[in-house]
Amino acid sequence: MIIDAGVLPKLLSLAANGPYQSACMRRESARLLANISERLAVRIREVLGEQSIQSWMTSVGNLRDPTVRVHAIRAKSSLSMVVA
């Protein structure tokens, strides 16, 4: 349902560095992206395309928030199995 609702691009954009005011939202977005990626990585690739995913994955190592980083690494691990 989440994928069909079209929120994946927003999840990627929120699972990034940002201001303190949005820290909770960024953490939850990264957590949600990690959970979805574990089971639906192929579907995420179909919706977002490899280029968008690869671009986001290159930013994971630079995430400042440790919680966002942990969840983003989980998502990256799952997504890296379906992108070149």
User: Tell me, what's the pLDDT at 21?
Assistant: 83
- Find where tokens 């639906």 sit: 40
- pTM of the predicted protein model: 0.91
| pLDDT-derived band at 19, boundaries 50, 70, 90 | confident
Which tokens belong to 40? 């639906």
- Burial of 19: CB neighbours in 10 Å, binned 0-12, 13-18, 19+: exposed
Q: How far from chain centre, in Å, is Cα 55?
A: 11
Q: Please give the average per-residue pLDDT across 34-50, as a whole number.
A: 96
